[in-house]
Amino acid sequence: MQLLIATHNRGKLIEYKELLAGLPFELSTLDDVGIHDDVEENGATFAENARLKAVEYAQRSRLLTLADDSGLEVDALGGEPGVYSKRYAGEGKSDADRYWFLLDKLKNVPRAERTARFHCVIVIASPDGKLWQTDGTCEGEIGFEPHGSHGFGYDPIFQVTERGMRMAELPPEEKNKISHRARAAEKAKLILAQIRSS
């Protein structure tokens, strides 16, 4: 049975192959099934954006589709950057541009008030309109400067509470056990197993 992962990113496909290992699905990307454009992610929440993508691509491909949306929520900034995590410092900016922009906004915020979390919502949609949703979070705080060379995005400035180190300092196999996406995918795996056996 085929499962469409709603992404053009081969790296994300590889990550999902690891996260969903053991399930009897053949995973493919949008490009694999001939979809080369993007759904506009204009939802106000991660759940809305994931749902927009899952529903649209399931209808267009006629395949069971998994879509996610995720980002960083910083309490001192009222939950920013949230759904704008990828374009927080403006369009076309690098990961470093974004995290330095965020660090600048937090420059006068003391350590005790720098709590944050990575949040991921996964939506699975069937071509006939059924929907399932899971989510996962990874709690931490924002450091004062970047550390580590693994990962991407805000990983160098995100201190993982349960590990006492930056997300970018964790080897990928460790990150894939505790990340927000890993936690959401663990729940999605149970749903996919039920779908497959029904």
Helix (H, G, I), strand (E, B) or coil at 5: strand
Contact in structure between 150 and 170 (CB atoms under 8 Å): yes
Contact in structure between 71 and 138 (CB atoms under 8 Å): no
C-alpha separations of 24 from 9, 17, 112, 146 in Å = 22, 11, 45, 40
For strand 2-5 and strand 64-74, is the pairing parallel, antiparallel, or unpaired? parallel
The yes-or-no answer on residue 69 being catalytic is yes
User: Which is the catalytic residue, given 31, 32, 37, 69?
Assistant: 69
The two counts, helices (H) then strands (E), for the chain are: 5, 7
CA torsion sign for 142, 12, 87, 153 is positive
Nearest to 136 by CA among 69, 65, 42: 69
CA–CA distance, 179 with 5 (Å, rounded to integer): 18
CA–CA distance, 6 with 160 (Å, rounded to integer): 27
Which residues does the annotation mark as catalytic?
69
